């Protein structure tokens, strides 16, 4: 109870400090608009923002399904076959570790703008953590269980379906929970990086998604779109 109250107080105090800071001119309201200016702005761009949100969530969902399906199946395959695991795991861990932003320009060059690179990059972000987690879980399945199942005459199919899969369910769930954040992150990065640019004529350009909307606002310096009469004309 006291915890909830303290949390509530924190949020309210944070908003109050923000409001006061913006109103009293400690910070330029063009860069840090007060919460009271954000709310009407949200109402005004609500339609655009919801459409953008739907677009972003659609791409994220697609990327998420792809990364879960691919990640879990690759994790099971690589984790359960000893040779594959020994040969591939250093490469996979290295690919997991490198910042994927470095290949983003190339992805955009190859796939253009719009939905495809966003889904691809989102999948790339979600795939590796899920796969590495599932791979580790398959590797760490209790060997006694496998041996017992084998000695009782289980077929390979039964071994996977009745022993391995139930044993890795917790890790798959953890991976799925992590994966959604990574997929969303990947999609947002693409939407910010590749919504418009110096090569707009070269590759297909599509202005959609929350990321695009956000960059658009940021580029116009129109943080809250509430400075009526001032600034550039409305889009």
Partner 1 sequence: MKVVALRLVLLALFLGAWEVAGRRMNPLLGIPPSAVLPALRDLLLLRSYPDLVASLVLTVREIATAYVLAVAAGLGCGFMLGMHRLVGRAWGPMLGALYAVPAVVWYPSLMLFFGLDAASKIAFGFLLGFFPIALAVLAGIRQVNPQLVVVARAYGAGTVTVFRRVMLPAMLFTLVGGLRTGLALCVIGVIVGEILGSKAGMGALINHAYGLLRTGDYVALVLVTLTLVVGSDVLASLLEHRARRWTE
Smallest distance from partner 1 to CB 212, Å = 11
Q: How far is CA 17 from CA 80, 102, 164, 189, 227, in A?
A: 55, 38, 53, 30, 21
Using CA atoms, how far apart are residues 122 and 130, in angstroms rounded to an integer? 13
Residue among 167 and 178 whose Cβ is closer to partner 1: 178
Residue among 171 and 210 whose Cβ is closer to partner 1: 210
Smallest distance from partner 1 to CB 162, Å = 30
Residues near partner 1, by CB under 8 A: 2-4, 6-7, 10, 27, 31-32, 83, 86-88, 90-91, 97-99, 101-106, 108-110, 181, 184-185, 188-189, 192-193, 197-199, 214-215, 217-218, 221, 223
Smallest distance from partner 1 to CB 133, Å = 15
Residue among 102 and 230 whose Cβ is closer to partner 1: 102
Non-local (6+) Cβ contacts of 114 within 8 A are: 204, 205, 206, 208
Instruction: Yes or no: say if 138 and 76 are a contact pair by the CB < 8 Å rule.
Output: yes
Instruction: Yes or no: say if 191 and 174 are a contact pair by the CB < 8 Å rule.
Output: no
Record the tokens describing residue 24, joined without a space: 């009293």
Residue among 149 and 207 whose Cβ is closer to partner 1: 207
Smallest distance from partner 1 to CB 104, Å = 7
């Amino acid at each position: 109870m006291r915890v909830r109250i303290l949390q509530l107080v924190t949020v309210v105090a944070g908003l109050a400090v923000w409001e006061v800071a913006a109103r009293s001119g400690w910070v330029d309201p063009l860069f840090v608009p007060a919460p009271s200016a954000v709310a009407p702005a949200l109402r005004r761009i609500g339609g655009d923002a919801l459409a953008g949100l739907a677009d972003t969530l659609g791409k994220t969902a697609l990327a998420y399904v792809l990364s879960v399906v691919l990640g879990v199946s690759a994790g099971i395959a690589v984790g359960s076959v000893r040779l594959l695991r020994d040969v591939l795991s250093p490469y996979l861990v290295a690919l997991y570790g490198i910042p994927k932003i470095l290949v983003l320009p190339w992805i955009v060059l190859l796939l253009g703008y719009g939905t495809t690179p966003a889904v691809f990059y989102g999948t790339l972000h979600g795939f590796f953590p899920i796969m590495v987690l599932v791979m580790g879980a398959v590797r760490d399945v209790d060997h006694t269980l496998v041996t017992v199942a084998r000695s009782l005459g289980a077929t390979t199919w039964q071994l996977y379906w009745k022993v391995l899969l139930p044993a890795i369910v917790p890790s798959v769930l953890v991976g799925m929970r992590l994966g959604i954040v990574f997929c969303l992150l990947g999609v947002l990065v693409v939407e910010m990086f590749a919504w418009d640019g110096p090569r707009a004529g070269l590759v297909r350009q599509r202005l959609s998604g929350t990321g695009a909307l956000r960059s658009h606002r940021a580029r116009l310096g129109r943080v809250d779109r509430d400075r009526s009469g001032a600034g550039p004309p409305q889009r």
